[in-house]
Chain A
Amino acid sequence: MMRRLLVFGMLAGFFAGLLAFGFASITGEPQVDASIAIEEASAPPPAPGEHAEEEVVSRSTQKGLGLAVATGVYGIAIGGLFAIACAVAYGRIGTGGMRPTAAVVAVTGFVAVAVVPFLKYPANPPAVGNPDTIDRRTGLYVVMVLVAVLAALIAAQVGRLVSARLGTWNAALAAAAVFAVLVTMAAVVMPVINEVPASFPAELLWRFRLASLGTQAVLWATLGLVFGPLAHRVLSPAPAPARQAGTLARADETRASSQATAPSAG
């Protein structure tokens, strides 16, 4: 059961990563190119006798294969973690089956892993950000992600505690309020980072950040909508049509084994 959920999570994540690659290529790459042009124009010319900085990886590789591998690996990894989150959430939040559960977990994951960290420490294009502060910026970014994920877990637990008394809808509102309060407090307390050069075009920065947030939105939306139906079929297999005797026998076997394990869950 868990093995199949994990495999489907990674498959859905890979597919989501490919769509995110397409979205990022179309909407994000023009902004990355424009930012690199600004970066190169502002870089000091190489000293006499010194060669210009050599490209380790060509721009076309970065834009094509490099971006595809990055979004693909990220998608698979997020998909695997997503499958585990859905396995835990199934039957524990709300009364819906796996499709609504996956949708709720995807929205929550998008907000906690992408939107909240983005609002505090937004994505930056090349030419923005001082390389000397990368350690501190990375640390703060990771802390913001962890705080938002922890806040989501606390909020979900609060929602579970009050759902019997308030009903599912009001419990979800209470959970959302707890989450909002916790991440707002964290965002206010955590230090501000602003390393955008005054000369960097505001319009270009806005378009880059919109493309970055959109890439994450495409990834999470695809993940939730693709994983839901796949996992739904894992958890409640449809009665097998009697096409082949072998298929039927295997379906019966699955049903028998799931009945055998069911009492241990109670």
Chain B
Amino acid sequence: MPDSASSSPAATPLAGGTARPLPLPLPLRDIVPWAVLAGALMLLGIYFVGSEEGAFSLIGGTWMHEFVHDGRHLLGFPCH
């Protein structure tokens, strides 16, 4: 990782005089699988709150739209 190549994980004195370790970045290859899986699921959740039975409709009907109606308005999504 180029991020951590220059910085040793050992304690580095900072301007304040207190020694504290620089944070070591988490390797991207550990993050990516979680990001893909969780990203897809989370965006699906936001879609159901924000747009199902509005501009798009997977289930059909109006129940979902009416149920989250107030939240959709107040969270800032275009509702109807």
Listed in ascending order, the chain A residues whose CB lies under 8 Å from chain B are: 1-3, 6, 24, 28-29, 32, 55-57, 61-63, 65-67, 69-71, 73-74, 76-78, 80-81, 83-84, 87-88, 90-92, 95-98, 101, 114, 117-118, 121-126, 129, 131, 134-135, 137-139, 141, 208, 211-213, 215-216, 235, 262, 264-266
Contacts and interface: CB of A to CB of B under 8 A. Distances in A.
Contact of B49 (A74, A98, A135): A74
B80 A88 contact: no
A166 to B, nearest CB: 15
Contacts of B41: 77, 80
A111 to B, nearest CB: 13
Contacts of B35: 84, 88
Contacts of A122: 76
B45 A77 contact: yes
Q: Interface residues of B toward A: which range?
A: 35 or more
B59 interface: no
30 contacts: A28-B70, A66-B69, A67-B70, A69-B67, A71-B75, A73-B49, A76-B45, A77-B41, A77-B45, A78-B42, A80-B42, A81-B43, A83-B38, A84-B31, A88-B28, A91-B22, A91-B26, A123-B76, A126-B73, A131-B80, A134-B79, A137-B78, A138-B55, A138-B56, A138-B78, A212-B75, A262-B9, A262-B24, A266-B5, A266-B24
User: Which label, helix, strand, loop or mixed, suits the secondary structure of the A interface?
Assistant: helix
A97 B22 CA distance: 8
A96 B16 CA distance: 13
Interface of B: 1, 3-5, 9, 14, 22-28, 30-31, 34-35, 38-39, 41-43, 45-46, 48-51, 54-56, 62-63, 66-80
A139 B14 CA distance: 47
A28 B70 CA distance: 9
A91 B34 contact: no
A216 B75 contact: yes
Contacts of A1: 26, 30
A152 B8 CA distance: 28
A74 B23 contact: no
A265 B4 contact: yes
A138 B23 contact: no
